[in-house]
Amino acid sequence: MKVKEVFDKIVKLFDEAGVDSPAFEASVMLEDILDLPRQAEIFATETVLNHEQKEKILAAAEKRAEGYPLQYIIGSWEFFGRKFFVGEGVLIPRPETELLCETVLKYFSRSMPPKIVDLCSGSGCIAITLAKEINGADVTAVELYKEAFGYLERNNNLHGNCVKTALRDALEPFGTFDCVVSNPPYITGEEMEELQTEVTHEPKTALFGGSDGLDFYRAIAKNWYGHINSGGLLAFEIGDTQGDSVLKILEDNGYKNCGVLKDYEGRDRVVTGTKY
């Protein structure tokens, strides 16, 4: 079977299954799973797949059509222009989280290299990005769950062991830092009952933030206040309906200059506060 024929077959399968961007996802699968050159499925129309290749890609496509995450199928995903390994047990990096990194980068753009701790680090995409983008930054990534911590270690190794890693509870503070950054679990109990099929495969521990989704914001803002240096930053990613609530949590815990930043779709996405 020719590559173009396989591509068309997968696109049709994805379209019928209601997969978003079926052509894009079919392209990604062909490139990553079969290690084909980019856009080979479109331009190399005479390329023929052998039986093993055809069975491998079609089996993966069937799994995707059933709602299994594309990122888990190919085993990695891009974040801030870098590759990160992912799989069951770790949250998939999402493009909106890049705004959290951009916010921290901007805050420390004219300062001495900061000491940063990334809480609920998961794959390590935030911590590693900050370490790579801020020359001289001292970054520690904290993750409680061993399965996710394994991906954190793999990604840290992939990117030159640029961060320190800690297998521990993010709600139990240690040391002092210039920045505490986190994309904590923030899905509410009600929202957990309405997750998209793809999201149900991600670890519940990385999603559920308590009945109102705010448990981790309350605990981190309170517990870590005394561990942030004067002039230091606390930066959270939030759900798009949580801006006012998280802003109030920071203000109630003594943080100053608090604010809510919107993502590129105009939705509340990051809340920050300064410790003085």
**What residue spans define the domains of the chain?**
3-66, 87-275
For the chain, the straight-line distance linking the first and the last C-alpha, in angstroms and rounded, comes to 65
170-226 pLDDT, tens per residue?
Answer: 999 999 999 999 999 999 999 999 999 999 999 999 999 999 999 999 999 999 999
Cα–Cα distance between 111 and 166 in angstroms, integer?
26
Which residues in the chain land under pLDDT 70? 38-45
- Total H helices, total E strands in the chain: 11, 9
Among the CATH numbers 3.90.245.10, 3.40.50.150, 2.120.10.30, 3.40.50.300, which is that of 87-275?
Answer: 3.40.50.150
pLDDT (0 to 100) of residue 271: 98
At 117-140, the pLDDT tens digits run: 999 999 999 999 999 999 999 999
Instruction: Note the pLDDT of residue 42.
Output: 57
Q: What is the pLDDT of residue 43?
A: 58
Beta bridge partners of 142: 119, 166
| Residue 5 CA, distance from chain mean position | 33
The pLDDT of residue 89 is 96
Count, residues in the chain: 276
pLDDT of residue 207: 93
What SS3 class is residue 181?
strand
Q: Please give the pLDDT value at position 31.
A: 87
Residue type, 188: T
